Amino acid sequence: MTASIIIIGAGMGGMSAGIYGQLNGYETLIFEMHNKPGGQCASWQRKGYTFDACIHHFFGCKPGTRVNEMWHELGVLPRNLVKVKECTAVASPDGKTFLDYYDLEKLRKALLDLSPADAKMIEKYIRLIRAFRNKRVDDALNNSSFWNLLKALPALLPMQKWLRMDMKAFSTHFSDPFLKKAFALLIYANPDAPLFFHLMRHAGGINGDVQWPAGGAYEFAKSIEKRYLDLGGKVHYRSRVDKILVESKKAVGVKLADGSEYRADIVISNADGRKTILDMLDGQFINDTVRGYCAPLQDETPFAVDVFLGINRDLSAKPSSLVLLLDPPVNIAGHQYESIEAQLYGFDQSMAPPGRCTIKVELTAGYAYWKKLYQDDKEKYQQEKQNVAERVVDILDGYLKGIKNQVEVIDVCTLTTWERYMGGTQGWFNLPNRKIEFAMREDLSDKKFKSTLPKLDDFYFTGVWTTAMGSLAHNALSGKTIIRRICKKDGKKFQGKSEPISV
Ligand SMILES: Cc1cc2nc3c(=O)[nH]c(=O)nc-3n(C[C@H](O)[C@H](O)[C@H](O)COP(=O)(O)OP(=O)(O)OC[C@H]3O[C@@H](n4cnc5c(N)ncnc54)[C@H](O)[C@@H]3O)c2cc1C
């Protein structure tokens, strides 16, 4: 008899579990609270402009890696991919711009032009990027098996000192004041971000592993949904799961918000971990470790407020990602900003009508501030969103003169928007309080990959709650890993590929 699986949520992990479930002979059914697939992998249209709230970097574009193979299995690849010329750019109010080019000769020249006195450190930076392009390091990052890590050691050991640094610490090695500021902000304008991640991303951009999926996040998610439906999977939209049904300490189905009940042999949750554990399962299957994962999140959240602009201007010659240094710092909605980062989508013509461009500015902000505004006074909340957009447009106008008069569409989303949209604890944030897992492992060891709950059978998590990583690839891989585990438990040989993969 075919075993059945109910999956809560059509995010990366949920749809991937659905696809690998179908490939392995399970009958799967996804319940998704929203009216479309993707979860955090979200974009939408306003008057011909596409506003993408998710993807900056799509990892796994380089043929021959496990992640690339998975994207083919999930129907994401092949697709139209766009290579941009720089990782990030940083501009100062006095007119200096640093373009962190992928082309290392151009990069060297750009840096030396800005600060010849930093020549030694500039060479070091370029050597570090080159080290990450080393085939063995690349193999270890894409498949961190013991042997791959061992083979990469000769290349990794000399970098030891640098790999432990964050961007802020790295930036202090430059003497030029502008470069000091710029280097600290190269990853999402976050000085605490690890240098390791920046080097991986930079090398990935050169190797072609990191690119942009043309059309943005929703097109990306739709291609996975299509693959799932083509394999015979079923998905019910506008179907919020309220409870997971449990009998004799075994998950046996779900109860939806409308009261209807559905039964299955196995239940997989791709929904917010805290809500799954504490609400859907009434906190019954918990121990100290899991309680620790559910501890409250910090209030300050990156990508908390997104300002989207549809601009009647061709910005295709501008950098794809631009950090603007603000001197003096600017106060927006009670928060002090020393810089803001804008994504300029001129590199993808499909994101805006001809001759126009979409811009996104993502701001770190406090969750409580926006939640209170939304709960207390919807009009004030809308007004504050408008105020934030106006402040952001003013700042952009300082760099892109005249843009103020070219704004055709404004849309602002906050963590409260995300919360309504996909039910997370604090908007899109669905991370457990535990250490993140960096490596692109296909089968993460049980010690690190927490996909089950104590004393509850036939229940699994997939997605961010298991990986603790904000990454399309990791969370899609988690769906594959869960089905592999279920197959192992059922004594089945796991089927990873249904047809030859054309790469
Ligand atoms: C602002 C931002 C930028 C990002 N940038 C990048 C990037 O550049 N590169 C990259 O690789 N990754 C990026 N990520 C991370 C990546 O998008 C996520 O890690 C990934 O999409 C999460 O997948 P998931 O499997 O955890 O599912 P989620 O996206 O968390 O989806 C969960 C799904 O469950 C549904 N759901 C929740 N509760 C219920 C319920 N009760 N009943 C039914 N359905 C329910 C939700 O509606 C949602 O569809 C970004 C994320 C964000 C938010």
Q: What are phi and psi of 441, to 5 degrees?
A: -75, 145
Strand partners, 97: 91
Both tokens of 381, joined, read 């909340």
* Mutational pocket test of ligand 1: of 34, 40, 305, the residue with most ligand atoms within 8 Å of the beta carbon: 40
Closest residue CA from atom 12 of ligand 1: 471
**Residue 471 alpha carbon to ligand 1 centre in Å:** 9
Closest residue CA from atom 49 of ligand 1: 39
CA dist list (Å): 96 to 84, 99, 112, 326, 337? 21, 10, 13, 13, 19
DSSP 297: P
Please tell me if the CB atom of residue 241 comes closer than 6 angstroms to any atom of ligand 1: yes
Q: Is 398 helix (H, G, I), strand (E, B) or coil?
A: helix
Q: Which atom of ligand 1 is nearest to the CA of 38?
A: 49
**Residue 319 alpha carbon to ligand 1 centre in Å:** 27
Helix (H) or strand (E) segment spanning residue 57: none
Please tell me if the CB atom of residue 303 comes closer than 6 angstroms to any atom of ligand 1: yes
CA dist list (Å): 493 to 6, 267, 268, 476? 21, 21, 20, 20
Closest residue CA from atom 41 of ligand 1: 241
Please tell me if the CB atom of residue 54 comes closer than 6 angstroms to any atom of ligand 1: yes
Question: 474 or 241: whose pLDDT is higher?
Answer: 241
Q: Are 179 and 185 in contact (CB under 8 A)?
A: no
DSSP states of 334-384: TEEEEEEEEEEGGG-GGGSSTT-EEEEEEEEEEHHHHHHHHHH-HHHHHHH
* Mutational pocket test of ligand 1: of 270, 274, 461, the residue with most ligand atoms within 8 Å of the beta carbon: 270
Do β-strands 241-247 and 250-256 pair in parallel, antiparallel, or remain unpaired?
antiparallel
- What mean pLDDT is predicted for residues 108-132? 96
DSSP states of 197-250: HHHHHHHHHHHT-EEEETT-HHHHHHHHHHHHHHTT-EEESS--EEEEEEETTE
Residue 503: per-residue pLDDT: 24
Please tell me if the CB atom of residue 51 comes closer than 6 angstroms to any atom of ligand 1: no
Closest residue CA from atom 50 of ligand 1: 54
Residue whose pair of structure tokens reads 């891989």 in the numeric block: 477
144: Cα separation from own chain's centroid? 20
Q: Are 364 and 302 in contact (CB under 8 A)?
A: yes
- What mean pLDDT is predicted for residues 135-148? 70
Residue 500: per-residue pLDDT: 37
Residue 151: per-residue pLDDT: 78
**41-55, 207-221, 439-453: which has the minimum mean pLDDT?**
439-453
Residue 142: per-residue pLDDT: 67
140: Cα separation from own chain's centroid? 21
State pLDDT tens for residues 93-112: 999 999 999 999 999 999 99
Q: Which atom of ligand 1 is nearest to the CA of 280?
A: 41
**Residue 422 alpha carbon to ligand 1 centre in Å:** 8
Do β-strands 49-52 and 43-46 pair in parallel, antiparallel, or remain unpaired?
antiparallel
CB count within 10 Å of CB 240 equals 16
Q: What are phi and psi of 53, to 5 degrees?
A: -90, 5
Closest residue CA from atom 7 of ligand 1: 55
Q: Are 237 and 230 in contact (CB under 8 A)?
A: no
* pLDDT of 395 over the 50 cut: yes
Q: Which atom of ligand 1 is nearest to the CA of 42?
A: 17
pLDDT band at 117 (very low <50, low <70, confident <90, very high): very high
Please tell me if the CB atom of residue 10 comes closer than 6 angstroms to any atom of ligand 1: yes
Q: Are 413 and 306 in contact (CB under 8 A)?
A: yes
**Residue 96 alpha carbon to ligand 1 centre in Å:** 36
State pLDDT tens for residues 245-303: 999 999 999 999 999 999 999 999 999 999 999 999 999 999 998 998 899 888 988 99
Q: What are phi and psi of 310, to 5 degrees?
A: -100, 120
Cα separation, 303 vs 187, in Å, equals 13
The mean pLDDT of the chain is 92
Both tokens of 148, joined, read 């791959």
- What mean pLDDT is predicted for residues 37-65? 96
Sequence-distant (6+) residues with CB within 8 A of 146 are none
CA dist list (Å): 203 to 102, 127, 383, 410? 8, 11, 42, 35
Cα separation, 311 vs 403, in Å, equals 7
Q: Which atom of ligand 1 is nearest to the CA of 256?
A: 42
Strand partners, 358: 310
Closest residue CA from atom 23 of ligand 1: 12
- For the chain, give the longest Cα–Cα distance: 72
Q: Which atom of ligand 1 is nearest to the CA of 362?
A: 1
**Residue 429 alpha carbon to ligand 1 centre in Å:** 8
Please tell me if the CB atom of residue 240 comes closer than 6 angstroms to any atom of ligand 1: yes
Residue 153: per-residue pLDDT: 80
**Residue 297 alpha carbon to ligand 1 centre in Å:** 17
pLDDT band at 501 (very low <50, low <70, confident <90, very high): very low
Q: Which atom of ligand 1 is nearest to the CA of 421?
A: 47
**Residue 125 alpha carbon to ligand 1 centre in Å:** 33
**Residue 41 alpha carbon to ligand 1 centre in Å:** 6
- What mean pLDDT is predicted for residues 222-230? 98
**43-57, 185-199, 346-360: which has the minimum mean pLDDT?**
185-199
Sign of CA dihedral 92, 95, 204, 465: positive
Q: Are 246 and 31 in contact (CB under 8 A)?
A: no
* Mutational pocket test of ligand 1: of 81, 261, 272, 472, the residue with most ligand atoms within 8 Å of the beta carbon: 472
Q: Is 319 helix (H, G, I), strand (E, B) or coil?
A: coil
Residue 65: per-residue pLDDT: 85
Sequence-distant (6+) residues with CB within 8 A of 261 are 245, 253, 254, 255
State pLDDT tens for residues 405-424: 999 999 999 999 999 999 98
> Any idea where the domains of the chain sit in the sequence?
4-44+219-296+429-489, 84-207, 300-422
Please tell me if the CB atom of residue 463 comes closer than 6 angstroms to any atom of ligand 1: yes
Q: The whole model's pTM is what?
A: 0.95
| Class of the CATH-defined domain 4-44+219-296+429-489 | alpha beta
Residue 136: per-residue pLDDT: 75
Residue whose pair of structure tokens reads 């009940």 in the numeric block: 261
Residue 443: per-residue pLDDT: 44
Residue 445: per-residue pLDDT: 41
State pLDDT tens for residues 445-500: 444 557 899 999 999 999 999 888 889 998 999 999 899 999 999 999 998 864 43
**Residue 14 alpha carbon to ligand 1 centre in Å:** 10
DSSP 157: G
Closest residue CA from atom 48 of ligand 1: 39
Strands annotated E in 32-79: 43-46, 49-52, 58-59
Expressed in angstroms, the distance from the first to the final Cα of the chain is: 36
